[in-house]
């Protein structure tokens, strides 16, 4: 493999694997900036993945090439509905956020596999998608010398969409009224309440946005990587996204960067054997690399990062 092909493969595989993490980690950013810890991202991804696959298989013939993109939307909406459980539990019922998130993570695969058996004649996995999110070559940009072939040829459009979403998310959080208020309820809900901001409404918004983006993350995973839905479609990507959010210091663009890094770690399993120097390492190293790197990064960075001050707290409005 020549160097250009190698770089193209590494970059495009990294982007394909990072795309689900980008969306989901940005979702985590919104939830946690509103003060709700969201370890349920994994479960939201599962539901998003399941819903998008079902939609894709059912309506693929009707919508043709637009199917996987509509599948993202469907996955996002189902993830959002599923995240309502987390919102009600943590915001209204004041359940511990970790417990509620864990319940979501336990519930989602069970529910999705059960529904799969109902819909697919008792089988635990769906058929293979006929309309996946395939790689694209971006016109104009791909013609740029050197950069074009590496970054914009046969690459993941979903990842680029995720990068754009991360910048939009940063703009929303930093520059808009909505963002300022969302962050205020995650930092000091009593202060926000004292100036007439509805803490409950903004926390709901944070959790629902995270459910939407987490659902999209799951849909990207299912429609571009596994290409069907089974219990092994989402295996830790939600937790990796959570790690990316922490690694990115709760900043949407930082989370995106961390997600790309984790995507690169996952891509090693595929491209590792073509990269000189590390090509002779045993395969098992590449397979466990993303999980190992996640743990190392979390241990190294979680102590330094500053999370929103009221993250994980409950708020009771005075009567």
Contact set with other proteins (CB under 8 A): 175-178, 180-181, 183-184, 187-188, 190-197, 306, 308-309, 318
The 3-state DSSP class for residue 229 equals coil
Q: Closest separation between CB of residue 221 and other proteins, Å? A: 32
Query: Which CB atom, from 123 or from 175, has the smaller least distance to other proteins?
Result: 175
Q: Which two tokens stand for residue 125?
A: 């996995």
Q: Cα 101 vs. chain centroid, distance in angstroms?
A: 15
Tell me how far, at minimum, the Cβ of 198 lies from other proteins, in Å: 10
HSE at residue 7, side-chain half, CA atoms within 13 A, is 11
- In the complex, the smallest distance separating the C-beta of residue 27 from other proteins, rounded to whole angstroms, is 21
Nearer to other proteins, 169 or 293 (CB): 169
Gyration radius of the chain over CA positions: 20
**Cα dihedral 54→126→26→194 (10° resolution):** 60
Judged by CB, which is closer to other proteins: 50, or 202? 202
In the complex, the smallest distance separating the C-beta of residue 303 from other proteins, rounded to whole angstroms, is 10
Report in angstroms how near the CB of residue 35 gets to other proteins at its nearest. 12
Residue among 86 and 183 whose Cβ is closer to other proteins? 183
What's the CA gap between 151 and 15, in Å, rounded?
A: 9
Closest distance to other proteins from the beta carbon of 171 (Å): 9
CB-CB contact of 286 with 268 (8 Å): yes
State which residue, 114 or 178, has the beta carbon closest to other proteins: 178
Minimum CB distance to other proteins smaller for 148 or for 312: 312
* φ and ψ at residue 318, rounded to 5 degrees: -70, 145
Q: Given the complex with other proteins, which of 175 and 273 has the nearer CB atom?
A: 175
User: How far apart are alpha carbons 207 and 108 in whole angstroms?
Assistant: 16
Q: With contact defined as beta carbons under 8 Å apart, do 240 and 262 qualify?
A: yes
- Under a CB-based contact definition with an 8 Å cutoff, are residues 242 and 28 in contact? yes
Structure tokens at 306: 């500053």
Beta-bridge mates of residue 136: 155
Max Cα distance, the chain (Å): 70
> What is the distance between the alpha carbons of residues 66 and 279, in angstroms, rounded to a whole number?
39
Reduced to 3 states (helix: H, G, I; strand: E, B; else coil), residue 140 is coil
Q: Residue 299 Cβ, how far from other proteins at the closest point, in Å? A: 18
Of 231 and 253, nearer to other proteins (C-beta) is: 253
Q: What does the block give as tokens for 47?
A: 């539901």
Smallest distance, other proteins to C-beta of residue 28, A: 18
């Amino acid at each position: 493999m020549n160097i250009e092909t190698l770089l193209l493969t590494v970059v495009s595989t990294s982007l394909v694997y990072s795309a689900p993490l980008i969306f989901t980690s940005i979702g985590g950013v919104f939830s946690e900036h509103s003060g709700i810890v969201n370890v349920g991202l994994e479960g939201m991804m599962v539901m998003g993945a399941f819903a998008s696959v079902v939609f894709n298989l059912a309506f693929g013939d009707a919508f043709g090439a637009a199917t996987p993109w509509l599948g993202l939307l469907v996955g996002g909406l189902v993830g959002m509905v599923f995240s309502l459980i987390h919102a009600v539990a943590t915001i209204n019922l004041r359940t511990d956020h970790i417990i509620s998130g864990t319940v979501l993570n336990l519930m989602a695969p069970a529910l999705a596999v059960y529904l799969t058996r109902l819909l697919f004649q008792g089988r635990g996995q769906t058929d293979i998608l006929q309309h996946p999110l395939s790689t694209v070559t971006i016109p104009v940009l791909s013609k740029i010398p050197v950069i074009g072939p590496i970054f914009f040829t046969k690459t993941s459009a979903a990842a680029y969409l995720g990068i754009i979403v991360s910048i939009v998310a940063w703009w929303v959080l930093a520059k808009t009224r909505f963002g300022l208020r969302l962050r205020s309820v995650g930092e000091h809900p009593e202060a926000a309440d004292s100036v007439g901001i509805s803490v409950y409404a903004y926390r709901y918004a944070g959790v629902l946005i995270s459910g939407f983006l987490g659902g999209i993350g799951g849909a990207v995973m299912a429609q571009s990587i596994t290409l069907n839905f089974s219990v092994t479609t989402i295996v830790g990507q939600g937790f990796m996204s959570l790690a990316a959010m922490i690694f990115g210091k709760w900043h949407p663009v930082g989370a995106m960067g961390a997600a790309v890094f984790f995507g690169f770690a996952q891509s090693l399993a595929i491209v590792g054997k073509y990269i000189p120097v590390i090509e002779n390492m045993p395969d098992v190293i590449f397979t466990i690399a993303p999980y190992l790197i996640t743990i190392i990064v979390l241990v190294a960075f979680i102590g330094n990062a500053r999370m929103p001050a009221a993250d994980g707290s409950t708020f009771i409005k005075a009567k």
